[in-house]
Amino acid sequence: MADAITKSGFTAHDEKITARSSLFYRPQAKTGLMSWLTTVDHKRIGFLYGVFALFFFLVGGVEALLIRIQLAVPNNNFLSAQQYNEMFTMHATTMIFLAIMPLSAAFFNFIMPLQIGARDVAFPRLNAFSLWVFVAGAIILNIGWFMHDGAPNGGWFGYTPLTTRTFSPNHAIDMWVMGLQLLGVASIAASLNFITTIINMRAPGLTMMRLPVFTWMTLITAFLIVLSFPAITIALIELMMDRSFSTNFFEVSNGGMPILWTHLFWVFGHPEVYILILPAMGIISEILPTFSRKPLFGYPIVVFSGACIGFLGFGVWSHHMFTTGMGTVATAAFAMTTMAIAVPTGVKIFNWVGTIWGGHISMRTPMMFALGFIWLFMIGGLSGVMHSAAPADAQQHNSYFVVAHFHYVLIGGSLFALLAGIHYWFPLMFGRKVSEFWGKLSFWVIFIGFNTTFFPMHFLGLNGMPRRTFTYDPNMGWSNSNFIATIGAFILGVGVTIYFVVMVYTYFKGEKVKNDPWDGRTLEWSLPNPVPEYNYAVIPVVHARDAFWYQKQHKAEIEAEKAKAAKEEESHGGIHMPFQSLYPFIASLGLLIGGIGVSTMDSNPDPKVIVGKKLTVCFIGLAIFLYGVYCWALEGNEGYHIHLDNHGDDHKH
Amino acid sequence: MDRNLHGRIPTRIHLILYKTMSHSAVANHDHGNEHSKFEIFVQLAMLLAVITGVEIITVYLPFSHTTLVTVLMVLSAVKFLFVIFIFMHLRWDKAFCTILFFIGMVLAGFTMWALLQVFSVSNSIPLSSL
Amino acid sequence: MSSVASGAIDHHHDSTTSTGIPNKKLLMWAFLASDCMFFGCLISTHLIYRLHPPAGTPAATQVFSIELTSFSTFILLMSSLMMALAVNAIQKGNLKSMRASLILTIICGLIFLGCQVYEFNEFVYVKHLTISNSILGTTFFTLTGTHGIHVLLGVIWLTSMLIYSYTGRLTEKDAIDVESMGLYWHFVDIVWIVIFTVVYLLEYI
């Protein structure tokens, strides 16, 4: 395994670099554990996000299968009610925050800098910090499984007053709150980094309207994250204060209003679902043109629609609250904004269809997942716009109709696109291609399993089956559909297993390919695979949208430009690379320890003890965090230089 | 016109002057203005103090609730905008910085407005306050 | 000689970036846009709970001391001036002047924090308004406390920068770091401008 990693090329050989003498030692390992803990390379960070995301995707999948086993037959006692609550809470929280979002982040990290012709993101150490804080948050969310208090069990949306101290007295909810806060920090830091990178580090000639659509969606998603996460940060702070310091934010007896939590949560929660889908839409917008051998239809409209969806997404949150009695005006207003947001979404679908229309279609595995996306996301969108009619929603709310809707957009939409992206960019990242037969087989099993599981849920919902209930009566008429759904879930599980096994196999032993196996259109395909540490030997000059396609049509012009730019870069001292650093990891470790102290430990009830165990652990965590941050600030942001000789080999100094 | 001007200025100083002028074209503020920057800041601080004083006095004036609230909002907005455009330098920086901040500010304002609207209607009055 | 030295570095245009805006400045402005939403939601919570206060809530005008708060508002405004002067100084390579302005900024910040601590003590022990005994106390202390924490973090940052400036490693080329810190500090001031009006002054109308 270690062998494969050393050979796979984006880990270079261990070379001694003579760093300038500075107050702080800069780690130089290029292989081994330390090289991963100290990496600031966006490609490695993207890889790590991907590995963690795929791991938690499996965890979330197991949680889902346990739910489906419990619901396979009526009056089942496979899981207790309490265990069931933990399952649906953790399944949702894991899939949203620990699987889909980090898998999107994996692509943002690996692909986006390559698409804009950059050598890394604007703040490489901040990037590493985001990754490790994400891991810290993931740990805190899941640590409850191993503790007496159990995993979080208040639903992924944590409605008060259920999650207040009165009704959830143990630490399960504290861990949920703390885990999400850390994930929020990670997401916001990463998004600030991506915004700066995309706006400020584009290659010469790469105007905003020449950006690949995936990069545009990365930018819009980053804006959504930095503007929506503060709402849940505040909501979580208020909940934590209620739970820890007896404040009254959601305490009815002292003037609090639990509905405020619901509002603040969904002010975040609705943009969050666009955060989950926009990157996927970006990936699809790259794959369809490549495999139809046509440029994206209506590029400006696709970009503009993405921006509209992002913007309008902040104005629809109360459509999750139609049944809370907000009054006619508020309900009507949110119903209208929700219907409005269906328009740009639909426009995108038309543009994707327009892209395929008349193209020379190549039915490879990524294309199959992409076509599946269009169809399944559209179904999910249709059930979504059905919710926008508030009277109809009065019946659909909290029923399995909603479950069907969001699984169609999240699995049929986000997941299919991400699975497509893995297949599509696998050759670029690892120099190998997944076999067509196994790839397509995994697609079909997943497709069949998914639809078998979730299509019946539309009917279950319309027939009144409520969400989040651990069992149901055999007289309700829901038994057959539930049983079919469970069978479907296991088929889906088999499909996912095939996909994973094939992916791991391909990583080690798959068919090796030269660069640009799909005849791609965007800049990342111009790089050799595996991608060198410094990405571009020479920063490209961009002349048009689909920059690499232009390069392929104008080879001579590009060669001349390249030679000229290479001379200029050499005269400036060569390729500048940042030094690695351990301090982002250390700072995250401090947050992890502090977070564990805050969320899992009891305060010492003895009033004579001023600093008990809990406060001690918190202070240790804070101290480690501050140490990490100060050293990070003081170690400076120097780097080393790489000089490429005529053969493209590198010499570091 | 002194045709001999450039001939008489030593070359070194000529180059320095040239550099200073071209930098000022790029920098969007010239070095002759450095003193007035200081003055602008001090004058602004005094203006902000005066506006704050006016705000405090306003609350004791015998006008209608709506009028007073409007006056306070306007005065605060003026202070807010002065600080971001002058102390935070937005007036002299690239427009994108302004756009970026305004996106967050406008969205926050809109969200606040929408939340207050929803909680103001009769359906949302808590029973304990009725 | 400062005009020659400062002519060498253009503090408002970074030619290595696509927009000319330095990366750190762009990052800070994006962060401040995010912080707008953060304080927006917190201020919203306070205002929502002031719409229909439950019976038995203390009257804010009986608790607040407008004189003290006006004084601390004025102090914070002055600290903003000092901060702007500090940034101005380092952009001209004038380290001494920057240090003096930074010290004054820190002093103003500490006075503000002192006023907050005094005010909190008064409210809790004299006026009997605590964070947990009423909804007014909850929202008031959480909002102004969160702002106070932002001020405290700012003071720590300012002090660290001040100490660092004595090591000889802070020079004119690092002005962007002082400028970013300045943007954060000014933001904390403008949040207070909003809080002073909507939390304190509005109660008196």
Give pLDDT tens digits for A582-632. Answer: 999 999 999 999 999 999 999 888 888 888 999 999 999 999 999 999 999
Percent residues over pLDDT 90 in chain A: 89
Q: Which residue of B46, B57, B89 is the best one to mutate when testing the C interface, meaning the one whose CB has the most C CBs within 10 A?
A: B89
How many CB contacts within 8 angstroms connect chain B with chain C?
163
C37 touches chain A (CB under 8 A): yes
Q: Is residue B3 part of a domain?
A: no
pLDDT at A388 over 70: yes
Tell me what pLDDT residue A648 has.
56
How many domains, chain B? Answer: 1
Q: Which residues contact A235 (CB under 8 A, 6 or more apart)?
A: A261, A264, A265, A268, C41
- Positive or negative: CA dihedral A79, A82, A86, A91: positive
> For chain A, what is the mean pLDDT?
93
Q: Is residue B21 part of a domain?
A: no
**Which whole number is the average pLDDT over B3-18?**
43
Residue of C37, C88, C193 with shortest CB distance to B79: C193
CA–CA distance, A175 with A139 (Å, rounded to integer)? 10
Tell me what pLDDT residue A607 has.
86
pLDDT at C45 over 60: yes
Q: Which residue of C193, C195, C200 is the best one to mutate when testing the B interface, meaning the one whose CB has the most B CBs within 10 A?
A: C193
Percent residues over pLDDT 70 in chain A: 95
- Rg of chain B on CA atoms, in Å: 25
Percent residues over pLDDT 90 in chain C: 90
Q: What band does A27 get if pLDDT is binned at 50, 70 and 90?
A: confident
Residue of A226, A255, A263 with shortest CB distance to B115: A263
pLDDT at B75 over 50: yes
pLDDT at A4 over 80: no
Interface contact A327-B103, CB threshold 8 A? no
- Is the omega angle on the peptide bond into residue A204 within 30 degrees of 0, that is, cis? no
Tell me what pLDDT residue A7 has.
37
User: pLDDT tens digits for A253-267?
Assistant: 999 999 999 999 999
Interface contact C23-A192, CB threshold 8 A? no
Answer with the residue of higher pLDDT: A9 or A446.
A446
Residues in C touching A201 (Cβ below 8 Å)? 17-18, 23
A244 touches chain C (CB under 8 A): no
Token digits for B59? 């609350």
The residues in A 49-78 lying below 8 A from C, measured between CB atoms, are none
User: pLDDT tens digits for A69-84?
Assistant: 999 999 999 999 999 9
Tell me what pLDDT residue A610 has.
85
Residue of C18, C42, C135 with shortest CB distance to A234: C42
Q: Which residues contact A479 (CB under 8 A, 6 or more apart)?
A: A73, A74, A472
pLDDT at A535 over 50: yes
Least confident of A556-565, B88-97, C109-118: A556-565
Tell me what pLDDT residue C106 has.
98
**Which whole number is the average pLDDT over A62-67?**
98
CA–CA distance, A101 with A295 (Å, rounded to integer)? 28
User: pLDDT tens digits for C98-156?
Assistant: 999 999 999 999 999 999 999 999 999 999 999 999 999 999 999 999 999 999 999 99
Structural domain containing residue B96: 36-129
CA–CA distance, B95 with C118 (Å, rounded to integer)? 41
Backbone dihedral region for residue C128 (phi beyond 0: left; psi -120 to 50: alpha; all else: beta): left
Domain extents for chain C? 36-204
**Which whole number is the average pLDDT over A101-121?**
97
> For chain C, what is the mean pLDDT?
94
User: pLDDT tens digits for A459-490?
Assistant: 999 999 999 999 999 999 999 999 999 999 99
The DSSP code for A314 is G
Residue of C43, C81, C187 with shortest CB distance to B41: C81
**Which whole number is the average pLDDT over A147-169?**
96
Residues in A touching C41 (Cβ below 8 Å)? 230-231, 234-235, 264, 267
Residue B16 contacts residue C158 (beta carbons within 8 Å)? no
Q: What band does B128 get if pLDDT is binned at 50, 70 and 90?
A: confident
How many CB contacts within 8 angstroms connect chain A with chain B?
36
Token digits for A4? 């494969």
The residues in C 63-122 lying below 8 A from B, measured between CB atoms, are 66, 70, 73-74, 77-78, 80-81, 83-85, 88, 92
Residue B81 Cα, gap to closest chain C Cα (Å) = 9
Q: Which residue of C138, C152, C163, C178 is the best one to mutate when testing the A interface, meaning the one whose CB has the most A CBs within 10 A?
A: C138
Q: How many helices (H) and strands (E) does chain A have?
A: 21, 5
Q: Which residue of A227, A233, A268, A270 is the best one to mutate when testing the B interface, meaning the one whose CB has the most B CBs within 10 A?
A: A227
Interface contact B27-C13, CB threshold 8 A? yes
- Is the omega angle on the peptide bond into residue A161 within 30 degrees of 0, that is, cis? yes
Tell me what pLDDT residue B33 has.
57
Ordered DSSP codes for A90-135: HHHHIIIIIIIHHHHHHHHHHHHHHHTT-SS-S-HHHHHHHHHHHH
Q: Is residue B25 part of a domain?
A: no
Q: Is residue B79 part of a domain?
A: yes
User: pLDDT tens digits for C64-93?
Assistant: 999 999 999 999 999 999 999 999 999 999
pLDDT at A273 over 70: yes
User: pLDDT tens digits for A407-452?
Assistant: 999 999 999 999 999 999 999 999 999 999 999 999 999 999 999 9
**CA distances, A182 to each of A33, A594, C109 (Å):** 24, 11, 28
Put the strands of the sheet holding A650-652 in their side by side order.
A575-578, A639-644, A650-652
**Which whole number is the average pLDDT over A58-78?**
98
Identify the chains in contact with B, defined as 3+ C-beta pairs within 8 A.
Answer: A, C
Looking at 1.10.520.20, 1.10.1040.10, 1.25.40.10, 1.20.120.80, the CATH number of the domain C36-204 comes to 1.20.120.80
The dihedral formed by the CA atoms of A213, A215, A218 and A220, expressed in degrees to the nearest 10: -60
pLDDT at B21 over 70: no
The dihedral formed by the CA atoms of C68, C74, C75 and C79, expressed in degrees to the nearest 10: 160
User: pLDDT tens digits for A312-331?
Assistant: 999 999 999 999 999 999 99
Q: Whose CA is closest to A438, among A368, A343, A362?
A: A368
Q: Whose CA is closest to A136, among A175, A194, A107, A87?
A: A175
pLDDT at B13 over 50: no
pLDDT at A23 over 70: no
CA–CA distance, A534 with A555 (Å, rounded to integer)? 23
Residue A21 contacts residue A70 (beta carbons within 8 Å)? no
Residue of B87, B97, B109 with shortest CB distance to C186: B87
Q: Is residue B71 part of a domain?
A: yes
